[in-house]
Amino acid sequence: MTQAYITRLSTGEEVEISKLTAEDLRRIHFEEERWVASKLLTLKRFSQERYNLLYSGLDLVSSIMFEIARKQGVKIESFGASKKTSALCIRLVKEKQKEDNILFYEIGVGTGYSVAHVINECADLGLYEESFGRLSIKGCDIFLLPSIRILVDEHPNVDMNIEEGHVVDCLQKLPDKSVDVLYADNVFEHFLPDEVEQIYSLIARKLKSDAYVFLIIPNKYVGPSDVSKYFLPFGSKAQGFHFMEMSFNEVTEAMKKHGVHQSHCVFKIPLLGAYFIKSKVLIKLKLKIEHVLAKIPWCTFRKRVFSLCGYSYSILKASK
């Protein structure tokens, strides 16, 4: 068996993770993520020191997560993304296919799972020619995994650019009003509280009129949803890298301030998939019902209702 080591950021201790159980690894994951998260909050906003620590922290916990998956015989194909969520992205791109130039941008590309699905499905729409076409795919992540680099190399005919770096640095390179569909799956909860407003404002500036924004953010009413969930009681504030778990109402209000409004309701049908429907009435109803559901004591029923009603999903549209 190949030996695998990590160096704990909190203590500098070198740990041979290949010899530890999944339970022990998860405990280290929680302790390190909690330590890094606490330290990040004390550092200057948008500073290089803060970015470097976040990069190191994510790199460390990713190594632990991959080792846990290996021990459990599970292959990590994505960090949260799925065929269901990718299908919703593709539907949004299809709604823009009559436009001359379409830009799909993903914040937090992870393994490249969703990007790969968009490439494969949109090839059937005739959006690519022998060399490029009408659809450009761009994105960023704080660090790029080998799988996304391979994906780029495998599709030289696609106008694709995936960058490594802070979301602000990457987005600033885009022309204003250039993005048609922006996607972020389990990313916004990682933004630090003192940086979010500037990030939201920058995102809004890069959107075309009528651009779609598809966000998946863990709903705080069924949290914590980061590694804290294994060690803290239900309803506790996440102590790891989920700084901004939000309710559907909070997401709605936060984006509305930047001219981006909820446009579709997402719901899930067991065994069939996730769907969305455009309805202002349903959105208003969903906003009101969330307050009621939040008052129900924790139970399986409450969690299922939040899931089926898509309370972690937001499909929004930029104002004209």
Mean pLDDT of the 209-234 span: 95
What are the pLDDT digits (tens) for 243-296?
Answer: 999 999 999 999 999 999 999 999 988 777 788 999 999 999 999 999 999 998
In this structure, the answer to whether residues 30 and 117 fall within a common structural domain is: no
How many domains does the structure of the chain reveal? 2
Question: What's residue 128's pLDDT?
Answer: 64
Q: For residue 165, is it within any domain? A: yes
The residue that leads in pLDDT, 92 or 132, is 92
| Listed residues 71, 103, 122: the one ending a domain | 71
Q: For residue 309, is it within any domain? A: yes
pLDDT band at 3 (very low <50, low <70, confident <90, very high): low
Residue 206: give its domain's CATH number. 3.40.50.150
In this structure, the answer to whether residues 201 and 302 fall within a common structural domain is: yes
Domain encompassing residue 52: 5-71
Answer whether 132's CB lies under 8 Å from 221's CB: no
In this structure, the answer to whether residues 15 and 147 fall within a common structural domain is: no
How is 207-226 classified by DSSP, letter by letter? EEEEEEEEEE---GGG---S
The stretches of 75-112 forming alpha helices (DSSP H) are 83-94
Mean pLDDT of the 79-85 span: 75
What are the pLDDT digits (tens) for 9-60?
Answer: 999 999 999 999 999 999 999 999 999 999 999 999 999 999 999 999 999 9
Question: What's residue 278's pLDDT?
Answer: 93
In this structure, the answer to whether residues 238 and 268 fall within a common structural domain is: yes
In this structure, the answer to whether residues 248 and 314 fall within a common structural domain is: yes
Question: What's residue 2's pLDDT?
Answer: 57
> What whole-number distance in Å separates Cα of residue 36 and Cα of residue 227?
13
In this structure, the answer to whether residues 240 and 149 fall within a common structural domain is: yes
Average pLDDT in the chain: 91
Q: What are the two backbone dihedrals, phi and then psi, of residue 192, each rounded to the nearest 5 degrees?
A: -80, 145
In this structure, the answer to whether residues 25 and 168 fall within a common structural domain is: no
Question: What's residue 146's pLDDT?
Answer: 87
The residue that leads in pLDDT, 250 or 298, is 250
What are the pLDDT digits (tens) for 107-155?
Answer: 999 889 999 989 888 776 667 665 556 889 999 999 888 888 899 899 8
In this structure, the answer to whether residues 98 and 215 fall within a common structural domain is: yes
What are the pLDDT digits (tens) for 149-176?
Answer: 899 899 888 889 999 999 999 999 999 9
Q: How far, in Å, are 22, 90, 95, 270, 300 from residue 307 at the CA level?
A: 27, 21, 25, 10, 11
> Which DSSP state fits 206?
H
Query: What percent of the chain lies above the pLDDT cut of 70?
Result: 94
| Listed residues 26, 43, 71: the one ending a domain | 71
| Listed residues 14, 41, 71: the one ending a domain | 71
Locate tokens 């349903």: which residue?
282
The most distant pair of C-alpha atoms in the chain lies apart, rounded to whole Å, by 58
In this structure, the answer to whether residues 47 and 87 fall within a common structural domain is: no
Give the predicted TM-score (pTM) of the model.
0.94
Question: What's residue 303's pLDDT?
Answer: 87
Question: What's residue 1's pLDDT?
Answer: 47
The stretches of the chain forming alpha helices (DSSP H) are 22-40, 48-71, 83-94, 113-123, 146-154, 167-171, 196-206, 248-256, 280-294, 300-308
> What whole-number distance in Å separates Cα of residue 6 and Cα of residue 16?
7
